[in-house]
């Protein structure tokens, strides 16, 4: 019954769309904006992600079918086109000021005294967290986002509109109720705030950068600024940026009397406004807010470097005015720095699973922001030289993103005489083969396949939580198994047995001088964990193989498009690059990996030893006759009858040997047109390519029979 009702509803929707696509598009955009607002600004979604995606899909398909109705403010346009080499300069309507700093409570009190002096008494002030990101100015005209600019020098910034459009919590249109409060809804209004990268995303971005031999960002602020200045907005879109808005360029644009009311309005307009704000009437309340912020600093998911205190009333702000660089009516109370000095004892080199050599600072242990730091990555040789750190130096250490220890630089006055400049060794510290540096890369790499350090890292990666999750298989055990010759590649895990594991010599002796062995209890648990790892999802196994550039998300995209190792290995480089979210670099890396004989042999052994390398739904390619070989299909519209996604239908066609392409060309054999098929259908007709409906597709998939090519008259 419920299904029937749903079908009826869908039919109604389609009928409505057919009769008045423009109205339906507008209705969908409003609905999607409303749910984005609930999700991003309110943190209180009312519909499931699946339902949201389905609204988006309908909108995208309608817009595909009616390109004239596409609008840059549509939620489908979050990933815009390429921007030019340079970002165009943007003059700010009003200067983007910096803030004066109060470095301690004494300086904060001195500022509060100045406020009292100006008005003869304390006036209401708003306390906000000082977000450690990058300033951004968003201009809306007629309620629509028309421009986003960085602060630049305060007077002129850079136009980063295409990139900011991809940031999910930035409304592309202001909410209607809020428009009514603008002095002139049609006039441009410039709203300002901070764009930032959450700590976790920062850590993950740097991890990935290091694994791929790219330079890491020093802190989340640089990461946010760098992500904003990408030439390709699709890269920005993947970077997980967020915003907090807190200002308007010209307060006359708004019917609000002060900062406090402005924050409420920004919230109503659909922006993400930091919830940790307080209207304080007394100095004690300001102190308490600062103390609380400092206490909570570590627990927040984003970096803050202080508290901003602002006189709330716009009239009173105007009365206090500005200095040449900052408003007098606001102050940034900066947190005491979480920096310490210690001695750099050594710079060692770590070899990662992809062979990247990473210099690591070995430090005299020191407590920074609540935890002991004894090692810190120095990322790469360029970074060591840029910071000019040398063994023996007294260095300044801090925690980037409050989590990752970072060496900021040396205290030069304390440098021991004759301390030499550090260089990357010419040979791999693990296997002694020469290291290379590829053009355009900052990283040095060991490319030997026999490198034990890489093997160890690859083995650990396979067993790690996000991959095959072999619980208990830690570094010490794996290293002992490698040394004893029992583990050479990941397929060897599946030959280990309980007795052999329990006898594993751990390389240490007990008080009686007898070798310590792993023991039965641990061995039993490990064998069970190995067993359980055989049946993880295909995406996790794919991630576990440690293919260069293939992180967790990429593995998931690949597995969704090609749900078994057989299908994936049969895909061409072009096929792989056609998957949404997979670029040519990843496609090349996957293609190469699967065609390298050593890797293919490991995969074969994994399969032979019962490790699942496909998802349940996947039919291994070799079991199906390749009746569709040589044919190229293009899918358009939605497959309502079967409820299959286009990716699923594509995978099923590929399993029978067909090629599936994203665009129609003369080489296309068939276009499969589902409901609400878009421009691809029109193109197929104009090129005279046979068009199949969903029923025909289902027939092919059931029987495997290749359809006859019919010449459609070109018209
Ligand atoms: P600074 O760059 O240290 O001079 O600090 C000024 C910068 O702090 C401003 O340009 C803003 O980008 C940033 N900031 C972060 N959070 C806030 C906030 N809540 N209010 C005002 N400015 C903020």
Written as one string, the DSSP assignment of 664-715 is --TT--EEEE-BT--HHHHHHHHHT-EEE-HHHHHHHHHH-PPPPP-PPPP-
Residues 469, 552: Cα–Cα separation, whole Å: 13
Q: Is the CB of 131 under 6 A from ligand 1?
A: yes
The strand pairing partners of 582, in sequence order, are none
Q: How does strand 632-636 pair with strand 670-673?
A: parallel
In three-state form (DSSP H/G/I as H, E/B as E, the rest C), the secondary structure along 138-150 is EEEECCEEEEEEE
Q: Is the CB of 246 under 6 A from ligand 1?
A: yes
What is the helix (H) or strand (E) element at residue 221, kind and residue range? helix 220-228
Residue of minimum CA distance from atom 22 in ligand 1 = 130
Say how many Å lie between the CA of residue 465 and the centre of ligand 1.
38
C-beta separation of 407 from 343 below 8 A: no
Q: How does strand 444-446 pair with strand 304-311?
A: unpaired
With the most atoms of ligand 1 within 8 angstroms of its CB, the residue from 97, 99, 152 to mutate is 99
Dig out the tokens for 580 from the structure.
Answer: 């949404």
Residue 575: DSSP 8-state: H
What is the model's pLDDT at position 603?
A: 94
Considering Cα of 290, then 293, then 297, then 302, what sign does the dihedral take?
A: negative
C-beta separation of 304 from 297 below 8 A: yes
Residues 343, 95: Cα–Cα separation, whole Å: 44
Residue 313: DSSP 8-state: B
Average pLDDT over residues 685-693: 86
Q: What is the dihedral of CA 350, 353, 357, 359, to 10 degrees?
A: -40
Read off the pLDDT band of 582 (50, 70, 90): confident
Dig out the tokens for 437 from the structure.
Answer: 């540096």
What is the model's pLDDT at position 84?
A: 36
Residues 630, 669: Cα–Cα separation, whole Å: 9
What is the model's pLDDT at position 710?
A: 56
Q: Which of 130, 310, 659, 680 is catalytic?
A: 130
With the most atoms of ligand 1 within 8 angstroms of its CB, the residue from 92, 96, 130 to mutate is 130
Say how many Å lie between the CA of residue 161 and the centre of ligand 1.
20
Express each pLDDT in 197-237 by its tens digit. 998 888 888 878 767 666 677 678 888 988 998 888 888 88
* Contact residues for 370 (Cβ-Cβ < 8 A; gap 6+): 298
Residues 317, 24: Cα–Cα separation, whole Å: 46
What is the model's pLDDT at position 373?
A: 86
Read off the pLDDT band of 196 (50, 70, 90): very high
**Range name among 36-40, 122-126, 563-567 with the lowest pLDDT average:** 36-40
Residues 491, 485: Cα–Cα separation, whole Å: 13
Residues 212, 355: Cα–Cα separation, whole Å: 10
Say how many Å lie between the CA of residue 38 and the centre of ligand 1.
26
Express each pLDDT in 236-294 by its tens digit. 888 889 999 999 999 999 999 999 999 999 999 999 999 999 999 999 999 999 999 99
Q: Is the CB of 130 under 6 A from ligand 1?
A: yes
Is 130 an annotated catalytic residue? yes
């Amino acid at each position: 019954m419920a299904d029937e009702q749903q079908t009826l509803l869908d039919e109604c929707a389609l009928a409505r769309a057919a009769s008045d696509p423009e109205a339906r598009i507008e209705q969908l955009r409003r609905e999607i904006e409303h749910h984005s607002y609930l999700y991003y600004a309110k943190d209180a979604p009312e519909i499931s992600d699946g339902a949201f995606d389905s609204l988006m899909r309908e909108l995208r398909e309608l817009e595909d079918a009616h390109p004239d109705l596409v609008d840059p403010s549509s939620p489908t346009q979050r990933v815009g086109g390429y921007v030019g080499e340079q970002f165009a300069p943007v003059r700010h309507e009003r200067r983007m000021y910096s803030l004066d700093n109060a470095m301690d409570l004494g300086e904060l009190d001195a500022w509060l005294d100045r406020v009292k002096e100006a008005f003869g008494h304390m006036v209401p002030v708003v306390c906000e967290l000082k977000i450690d990101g990058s300033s951004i100015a968003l201009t809306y005209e007629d309620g629509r986002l028309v421009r986003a600019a960085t602060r630049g020098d305060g007077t002129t910034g850079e136009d980063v509109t295409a990139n900011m459009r991809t940031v999910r919590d930035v409304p592309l249109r202001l909410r209607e109720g809020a428009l009514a409060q603008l002095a002139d809804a049609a006039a441009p209004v410039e709203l300002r705030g901070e764009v930032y990268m959450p700590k976790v995303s920062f850590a993950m971005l740097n991890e990935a950068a290091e694994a791929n031999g790219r330079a890491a960002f020093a802190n989340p602020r640089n990461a946010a600024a760098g992500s904003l200045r990408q030439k390709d907005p699709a890269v920005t879109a993947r970077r997980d940026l967020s915003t907090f808005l807190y200002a308007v360029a010209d307060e006359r644009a708004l019917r609000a009397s002060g900062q406090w009311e402005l924050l409420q309005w920004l919230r109503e307009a659909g922006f993400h406004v930091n919830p940790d704000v307080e209207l304080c009437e007394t100095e004690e309340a300001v102190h308490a807010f600062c103390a609380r912020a400092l206490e909570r600093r570590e627990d927040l998911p984003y970096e803050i470097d202080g508290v901003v205190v602002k006189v709330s009333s716009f009239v009173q702000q105007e009365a206090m005015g500005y200095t040449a660089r900052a408003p007098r009516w606001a102050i940034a109370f900066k947190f005491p720095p979480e920096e310490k000095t210690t001695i750099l004892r050594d710079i060692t080199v770590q070899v990662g699973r992809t062979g990247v050599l990473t210099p690591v600072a070995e430090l005299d242990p020191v407590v920074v922001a609540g935890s002991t730091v004894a090692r810190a990555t120095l990322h790469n040789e360029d970074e060591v030289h840029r910071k000019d750190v040398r063994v023996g130096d007294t260095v300044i250490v801090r925690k980037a993103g409050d989590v990752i220890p970072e060496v900021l630089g040396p205290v030069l006055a304390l440098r021991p005489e004759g301390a030499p400049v550090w260089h990357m060794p010419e040979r791999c510290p693990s296997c002694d083969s020469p290291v290379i540096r590829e053009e355009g890369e900052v990283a040095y790499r060991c490319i030997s396949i026999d490198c034990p350090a890489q093997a160890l890292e690859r083995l650990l990666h396979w067993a790690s939580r996000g991959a095959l999750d072999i619980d208990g298989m830690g570094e010490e055990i794996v290293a002992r198994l490698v040394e004893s010759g029992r583990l050479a590649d990941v397929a060897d895990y599946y030959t280990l047995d309980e007795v052999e594991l329990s006898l594993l010599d751990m390389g240490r002796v007990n008080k009686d001088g007898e070798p310590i062995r792993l023991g039965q209890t641990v061995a039993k648990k490990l064998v069970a964990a190995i067993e359980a790892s055989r049946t993880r999802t295909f995406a996790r196994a794919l991630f576990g193989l440690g293919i260069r550039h293939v992180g967790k998300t990429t593995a998931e995209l690949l597995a969704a498009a090609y749900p078994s190792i057989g299908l994936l290995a049969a895909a061409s480089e072009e096929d792989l690059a056609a998957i949404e979210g997979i670029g040519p670099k990843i496609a090349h890396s996957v293609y190469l990996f699967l065609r390298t004989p050593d890797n293919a042999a490991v995969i074969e052994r994994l399969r032979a030893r019962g490790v699942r390398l496909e998802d349940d739904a996947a039919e291994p390619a070799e079991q199906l006759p390749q009746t569709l070989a040589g044919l190229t299909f293009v899918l358009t519209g939605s497959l309502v009858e079967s409820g299959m996604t286009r990716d699923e239908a594509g995978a099923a066609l590929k399993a029978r040997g067909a090629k599936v392409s994203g665009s129609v060309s003369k080489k296309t054999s068939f276009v499969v047109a589902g409901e609400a098929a878009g421009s691809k259908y029109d193109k197929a007709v104009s090129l005279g390519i046979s068009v199949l409906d969903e029923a025909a597709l289902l027939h092919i998939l059931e029987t495997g029979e290749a359809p006859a090519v019919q010449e459609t008259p070109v018209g």
